[in-house]
Structures are given as structure tokens and as C-alpha cells.
Amino acid sequence: MERIRVIDSHTGGEPTRVIVPGQIDLPEMPIVEQADYWNTHHANLRGALCNEPYGSDIIVGAWLGPSEVADYRLIFFNNVGLIGMCGHGLIGVMETLSFLGEDVNRSVTFETRKGVVSAKRDAETALTTIQNVASYRYRKEVPVRLATGQSVTGDIAYGGNWFFLCEDHRLELAYANIPQLMQLSVEIRRSLESQGITGENGAQIDHIELTQTVADHHGRNFVLCPGLAYDRSPCGTGTSAKLASLAEEGKLSPGETWVQESITGSQFEARYQPDGELVIPHISGRAFVTAESELYFNNRDPFHRGIPQAENLP
């Protein structure tokens, strides 16, 4: 029977499941190829870690390994495949490394598929601040027609993943409205695909971020993730995309704090420093370890590879 040790945490309500390092060796190759190898050769295990009955489709998984350019190599994944960068996940990884006895009260570097990022966890406050990949707004106020007849507009921005940031959705971003928010976000994503609206170089926009201003320098969001679960946290890469849009609009200056609140009420504090046309996001949040487990995969169990999720949009 195969056994895998994992540490679970949540960041602002959104779970991260870290495979305890050293259990799964991947062939030495550049990170993009190595991540593809993990995604294809270990697809069953990836699915089991992020699907019922072992977990659920809201889990973001993390594999850590050796890197030649950073302290760790870090591959993020979920129930339907790989995730480029993951802000809440990086905060969860830092909390997990601290739990495992690593010194993370220093700048720790991680090689991700989208570039090298870094993070530091303050030992006194347990607050982790990440420095994300360079982020930017690609297109402003792009109109999208929905099958329902409604039209919405949104900015297309990159924050380690591609986002469509929509403010004119006409829904209240309230927990009670999650079914309607889900329906609209899925509809927007489907429409982006059918109308061929993409990120730069044809990149798929696989995150939809509905936004709402709460107060000066304070916004709320609802983020639909690639596996069609919504982010319980304020979404680190989505917050980075938002910072890029705000910076382009001249609504947030370098070093000023933006409070990004999630649909569950959890918050990140975010700032940026300019880098030419791009912004370098700094995002602070807290994670908590929820479990240290050994998962048993008994091949006589018909669900030992999880209950598969639909790979495509419904």
C-alpha cells in the first residue's frame, strides 16, 4: 500500500496541501518540463491528493524539491492540473516549512514555473510576506458578451496566473450570493473562451476575479479558480493582478497599502514596487497548519485515486 505524508494548512480559508519533501523524486530537468512530468506521470496521485475522498477540489497541492537557482523548487497543482504561481499556497508552504522546523524568518527563495519568488515569515507575528513575480495589466476594459444577453467589461492582467478582473458585474460580493457569483464567473470564463479572448500570446485566462470597492484602498473579490472552485482566500496572484491594474490607473502609488478582502472576509495586505512597466507585488497574510497526515492508497479501494473531476467546463 502506497503511503504519502502531507501537511495541510489554510491561508485565509483556502487550503494548501504540501507533500512532505523527499518522498517523490522527479527526474532532474528544467522546472517547466519537470512540472509537466509530475502532471502527466503522477496524474493519478495528483488527482487523489486534490479530490474526494482524500481531499477536495479547493485544495492546492505543493511539491517541493531541490533547485539550482533558489532554496527550493516549488510546483503547485490542483484537481485539474498545474497552477502557475499561487500566493495563498506560498504563504501555506512557508507556514508548513516553519512547522517542519525550517528557519523561514529570512528571505526564502522558490523557483516556480512562473519565475523565482521569495517569502519571509515574521517569527513574532507569524505573518508571511511574499514577493511575487512581476505583474502587469495587459488590456483595459475588455467587453465580453455573455450567453444570457448581459455584457460585462474587465481588465486582463497577469499576476503569476491570468485574470479577468470585472467590476461591472452588478452583483453584491456577499457570502450569501456565492451560487450567483459562481454562475456568473463560469459564464464569463466560458464566454472568454468562446470569443477567443486571451492573455498575452494566447494564454488562457483561467481565473475570473469579480471585484468591488469597499473603501479607499480596500477591495473585496470573488475569484473563480481553474478547477471551478472559488478561492476562499483573497488570492495572492489575483491580488497581484489587481495591484497591476490599480497602478496603471494611477489609483495606488508604490509603497501604499491595498487591503484585499476575500468573499469569506479574510484579508491580505498588498503593496508594490515599480519595475519599469511592471509591478513587483508584496503580499502579506497568515496561514495555519490544520493537519499532519499519512494518506493510505490501497489499490483494492476503487477510489484510491480519488473521484475524478471533469477536466472541462460544464
- Contact between 233 and ligand PYC by CB under 6 A: the answer reads yes
Q: How many chain residues interact with ligand PYC (CB under 6 A)?
A: 12
Complex with ligand PYC: residue 167 or 231, whichever CB lies closer? 231
Q: Which range of residues in 40-48, 109-117, 209-217, 231-239 is near ligand PYC by CB under 6 A?
A: 231-239
Q: Are the beta carbons of 136 and 277 closer than 8 angstroms?
A: yes
CA atoms of 176 and 182, how far apart (whole Å): 11
Question: Residue 119 CB: number of other CB atoms within 10 A?
Answer: 25
For ligand PYC, the binding residue among 231, 241, 242, 246 (CB under 6 A) is 231
- Taking each helix axis as running N to C, give the angle between helix 236-249 and helix 87-99, from 0 to 180 degrees, rounded to the nearest 10: 130
Q: What is the dihedral of CA 140, 145, 148, 153, to 10 degrees?
A: 10
* Contact positions with ligand PYC (CB under 6 A) in 76-115: 83, 86-88
Report the residue from 225, 241, 270, 280 that binds ligand PYC according to the rule CB under 6 A: 225
Q: How far is the CB of 277 from ligand PYC (least distance, A)?
A: 22
Regarding 262 and contact with ligand PYC (CB under 6 A), the answer is no
Whether 225 is a known active-site residue: answer: no
Q: How far is the CB of 12 from ligand PYC (least distance, A)?
A: 9
Residues 6+ apart with CB under 8 A from 110: 67, 70, 71, 72, 73, 74, 90, 93, 116, 117, 118, 119
**CB contact at 8 A, 243 and 279:** yes
Which residue among the candidates 50, 166, 225, 235 is catalytic per the annotation?
235
Please report, as ranges, the residues that interact with ligand PYC according to CB under 6 A: 14, 60, 83, 86-88, 225, 231, 233, 235-237
